[in-house]
Amino acid sequence: MSSQMDLNDVEYLAQLSKLSLSQKQLKKILVDLRAIIGHMSKVSKMKLSKKIPRTNRLGNEQNVWREDVVETSLNQEVALKNAKRKYNGYFVVKQLVRKTK
């Protein structure tokens, strides 16, 4: 995609994302995406010295990961104790995602 995106591109992205958006929302997203892509285009054209580190690492730090250790956790009864609605050992919540046509 280029900074020359048009409304059809945004509509296509919304369709892929299964989003129902108004024309006003689509136009706002188009403006925002053009600004983001324009900014990224400027960043990609920057001449960076090879002497400048491209990370924020100052020393020899490394990622520190904890060991994957099995720990005790809540049992099902305790986890569901204060649930407003439950069924067969599961939390019951309102439907968050609906099917689209």
The reply to whether 80 falls in a domain is no
Number of structural domains in the chain: 1
In a domain, 50, yes or no: no
What pTM was computed for the model?
0.46
Q: Which range of residues forms the domain containing residue 33?
A: 7-44
pLDDT digits (tens, 9 = 90+) for 35-65: 999 999 998 888 776 666 656 666 666 777 8
23, part of any domain: yes
For 83, residues 6+ apart whose C-beta sits below 8 A from its C-beta are 91, 92
User: Would 22 be classed as within a structural domain?
Assistant: yes
Ramachandran class of 88: left when φ > 0, alpha when ψ lies in -120 to 50, beta otherwise = left
Domain assignment of residue 12, yes or no: yes
